[in-house]
Amino acid sequence: MKKTFVISCLALIALLFTGSDAFAKKKTSEEAAVRACIAKNIKATLDEDVDAYFQTFKPATEQEKKQTEAALKIVFERYDLSVTIDSYKLISIDGDSAVVEIKMTTKKIRGPEFKDNQIKQRNNLKKIDGKWYIVSSEILSVNLLNEEETADENKKLAVDPDEEAAIRACVEKNIQATQDEDFDAFWETCKPTSALVKKQTEAVMKILFKTYDLSYKLDSFKLTSYNGDSATVEIVLTTKKIRGPEFKNNQSKSEHYLKKIDGKWYIDNSKPLNVKYLD
């Protein structure tokens, strides 16, 4: 999830040819309604208000709604975040469709390890029964903040080869369990937490498993930090659809944060770094 609120070139041409003040006012009103929808969506996220969120977002299917709701509840349970819109750009508005690009900065107020970030996101909106809704979003880029705090990529880490192998085995088991659609095996790789978080995560995963068959390939693995009982790894993963509705095959880079508890490694948290679409 650039500078100011603008009228598109096509809208400007139409305005010149019509010469109608009423037309101009109508366009301005629609643009304001689109922007208000985006603002309300961000506010609902800040307020951790799931009902208000779905007053601005119209999922394509009931399954998508359940999946989104479960994911939101997990985030709201684990974190308090601040979200600010740094820039807003109306790309197009044509009848009942609109496209908006925003940059927003997300920072942690409370919760487990989290990397503050700035996301560039494209939102597609539709006007349904006279009201604007976000119907889909696409992350265009992710920039992590406070990068100076991260370890030098060329720095050699003092880590026992057996420990690095155990960390990698945890990550690989997590990916394989997702591939096998085996939630119990997946959860064995996650840091122990509350029953509520487990239930919410299981709901999201089972919707994913029911909707798609996906293949996963670990393209690269790099241990970027280690201090005995915690570690950070950077992985590149290729995900492709085998079966299911519309899905963009992609190669994603992400970070996993791991903790060692009672001699065993667990994934504590994960954050996306970037996504490259393949098709």
What is the pairing mode between strands 230-243 and 264-277? unpaired
What is residue 278's DSSP assignment? -
- Whole-number pLDDT of residue 193: 86
**Smallest Cα–Cα separation from 42: which of 121, 129, 112?**
121
- Whole-number pLDDT of residue 5: 31
* Interacting residues of 41 by C-beta distance below 8 A, sequence separation 6+: 53, 56, 57, 134
pLDDT at 9 over 90: no
pLDDT tens figures, 244-256? 998 889 999 999 9
- Whole-number pLDDT of residue 171: 96
**Smallest Cα–Cα separation from 208: which of 76, 77, 73, 63?**
63
Residue 222 has a CB neighbour count (10 Å cut-off) of 12
Confidence of residue 115 (pLDDT cuts 50, 70, 90): confident
SS3 182: coil
pLDDT tens figures, 211-222? 999 999 999 999
**Domain annotation for the chain: domains and CATH numbers:** 9-147 (3.10.450.50), 157-277 (3.10.450.50)
Confidence of residue 27 (pLDDT cuts 50, 70, 90): low
Q: What is the rounded distance in angstroms from the CA atom of residue 255 to the CA atom of residue 247?
A: 22
Token pair of 104, please? 């927003």
- Whole-number pLDDT of residue 89: 92
**What is this structure's pTM?**
0.54
**Smallest Cα–Cα separation from 258: which of 248, 242, 271, 247?**
271
- Whole-number pLDDT of residue 153: 43
pLDDT tens figures, 148-197? 544 444 455 678 889 999 999 999 999 999 999 999 999 999 998 888 88
Q: What is the mean pLDDT of residues 59-79?
A: 87
pLDDT tens figures, 124-135? 999 999 999 999
